[in-house]
Amino acid sequence: MNKEDKARLDTIMTSFKETLAKSKEAQEQRQSEEDVGYGEFNRVRSETIRPAMEEIGQELKAGGHAYEIIEVGDGRSQRDARITLAVSIIGMPMSAHRRDNKVSVSFYRTGTATVTIQAETQIKKNTNNVAGQRGNYAASEITTDLVQKEILKVLEAVFSVS
């Protein structure tokens, strides 16, 4: 190989190595941000969201309703990190509009530092304003008060549907 071609090949290979190194650094940076985001969500989930859900759940239970708190996500499934308050409303009359008297409010991790709130209901009649995404917040914005107010908005809408 002549000197000119060898120099060109060296330049190509050096450029490739640099691009590869930058790509690896970017990937490590993204992974680091993901890990930090998951850790922050996990902290907020255990220190703020779950206790707020438990407090509301106990009040619902005292009122004759059933609840369950479901957590998903661990070190292997960080992308699916979620906590859900699932409520079975007891005493609501069944009708053709209702399959089941259940409502759930979930807080889950989206992106690296965003917590999304979503409500779902199996109560069919007049619950369009209940189901669906209810907001996105930075993990640092999640407080006990915010969690409880969001859950109460959903419960108020569901309990007023009769």
Q: What does the alpha-carbon distance between residue 146 and residue 112 come to, in Å, rounded to a whole number?
A: 20
pLDDT of residue 56: 94
pLDDT of residue 122: 65
Whether residue 105 contacts residue 147, with contact meaning beta carbons closer than 8 Å, is answered with no
Instruction: For 92-161, list the strands marked E by DSSP.
Output: 98-110, 114-123, 132-138
Walk along the chain (162 residues) and give the pLDDT tens digit of each residue.
Answer: 899 988 999 999 998 988 888 778 777 777 666 666 778 888 888 999 999 999 999 999 998 898 999 888 755 555 668 888 988 887 765 554 445 678 888 888 876 667 777 777 766 555 555 666 777 888 888 899 999 998 998 888 877 755
pLDDT of residue 39: 81
| Cα torsion 58, 62, 67, 68: sign | positive
Torsion of CA 154, 155, 161, 162, to 10 degrees: 160
Whether residue 80 contacts residue 73, with contact meaning beta carbons closer than 8 Å, is answered with yes
Other C-beta atoms closer than 10 Å to the C-beta of 63 total 11
pLDDT of residue 107: 84
Using DSSP's 3-state secondary structure scheme, residue 140 falls into helix
**Count of structural domains within the chain:** 1
pLDDT of residue 161: 59
Q: What does the alpha-carbon distance between residue 52 and residue 100 come to, in Å, rounded to a whole number?
A: 25
pLDDT of residue 80: 67
pLDDT of residue 31: 66
Identify which of 123, 102, 29, 6 has the alpha carbon closest to the alpha carbon of residue 60. 102
**Tokens 């060296």 -> residue:** 10
pLDDT of residue 130: 66
Q: Which domain holds residue 151?
A: 3-159
